[in-house]
A and B are shown apart, each in its own frame.
Chain A
Amino acid sequence: SQQGEEDPQALSIQEGENATMNCSYKTSINNLQWYRQNSGRGLVHLILIRSNEREKHSGRLRVTLDTSKKSSSLLITASRAADTASYFCATSTGGGNKLTFGTGTQLKVEL
């Protein structure tokens, strides 16, 4: 069963706008990760946030984690056409490396 559920399923914005994607999960976690997948390609790791962290930044990415609500959000600021991709959250429980992925958000950034 899926641990993470992303919202929205699809998002279309104009270049330069911010994109926000949300992830909810069901059980306690060690960390939560976000991955990007371009069409027909493998996944690429974007950012990891541990269960004792509340916010993390990496370039134009900002991730928040609310363990009391079992939710996370990924914000991409000043989006570009090259950000068009599917974005997945993945949670790690128990001993580290096993990941459970959400269903993903398809982001389209239009010129």
Chain B
Amino acid sequence: NAGVTQTPKFQVLKTGQSMTLQCAQDMNHEYMSWYRQDPGMGLRLIHYSVGAGITDQGEVPNGYNVSRSTTEDFPLRLLSAAPSQTSVYFCASSYARDRSYEQYFGPGTRLTVT
């Protein structure tokens, strides 16, 4: 199994540009989520999904969109990039509903917005 994969690993955007961060998992996990990690602030939840076709907002959703058309993929879209979105983005997945809640993380995407 590849686990959780994320692309790209690095990205530089100009203010106002849009882009999609890709996330895929091959473990048949129902639950997927996106976090951002900023220095000294730990990880903050952006959006999450409990299954295909179901998404919900986390703690810091503004400026981001998600969709979940398949179990495997959970892309994160930046609509109009801002310097405040400079961060490291992590995707994670896990089983849901009374199974182990251990979350598996991807390697991250380091995004810089200039």
User: Residues on A close to B: CB < 8 A?
Assistant: 1-2, 4, 31, 33, 35, 40-45, 48, 88, 90, 92, 96-104
Contacts and interface: CB of A to CB of B under 8 A. Distances in A.
B105 A48 contact: no
A2 B41 contact: yes
Given A33-B101, A44-B105, A102-B42, A97 B90 contact: no
B104 interface: yes
Nearest to B30: A97
Q: For A1, A88, A100, which residue has the most chain B Cβ atoms within 10 angstroms?
A: A100
A26 B96 CA distance: 24
A97 B106 contact: no
B40 A48 contact: no
Closest 4 CB pairs of A and B: A42-B105, A101-B42, A101-B43, A97-B31
Given A88-B43, A101-B43, A102-B42, A48 B107 contact: no
A97 B105 contact: no
16 contacts: A40-B108, A42-B4, A43-B90, A43-B92, A43-B105, A45-B102, A92-B101, A96-B101, A97-B101, A97-B103, A98-B45, A98-B58, A99-B33, A101-B43, A103-B42, A104-B42
Given A35-B105, A101-B44, A104-B42, 18 more contacts: A4-B42, A33-B101, A40-B108, A42-B4, A42-B90, A45-B103, A45-B104, A88-B43, A90-B43, A97-B33, A97-B48, A97-B94, A97-B96, A98-B45, A100-B45, A101-B43, A103-B41, A103-B42
Contacts of B43: 43, 88, 90, 101
